[in-house]
C-alpha cells in the first residue's frame, strides 16, 4: 500500500495521507493546501480510484470515498 501511495503525484499523495490516513477534515486540508474544499473532495475521490486500480481488490474498500 505504501509503495502505491508513494507512486501518486505529490498533491494526490498529500491528500490521501491527510484525509485517508490521518482523517483530517476537508476544511483543515483546504486551509493547509490553499484549495477549495469541493475541489479537494473530487481530487481525493480520483486519487482513491488510482490506488484501487493499482492494488489488489478489497484493500481500499473501507476507506471513505466521499
Contact 60, 10 (CB under 8 A): no
For the entire predicted model, the pTM comes to 0.81
pLDDT at 55 over 80: yes
User: Average per-residue pLDDT in the chain?
Assistant: 88
Q: Quote the pLDDT of residue 54.
A: 85
Contact 8, 50 (CB under 8 A): yes
> Which single residue is written with the C-alpha cell 498529500?
14
Q: Which phi and psi angles does 62 have, rounded to 5°?
A: -90, -10
Q: Quote the pLDDT of residue 58.
A: 61
Amino acid at each position: 500500500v505504501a509503495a502505491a501511495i508513494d507512486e501518486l503525484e505529490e498533491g494526490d499523495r498529500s491528500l490521501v495521507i491527510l484525509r485517508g490516513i490521518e482523517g483530517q477534515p476537508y476544511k483543515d486540508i483546504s486551509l493547509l493546501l490553499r484549495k477549495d474544499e469541493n475541489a479537494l473532495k473530487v481530487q481525493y475521490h480520483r486519487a482513491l480510484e488510482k490506488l484501487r486500480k493499482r492494488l489488489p481488490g478489497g484493500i481500499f474498500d473501507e476507506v471513505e470515498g466521499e
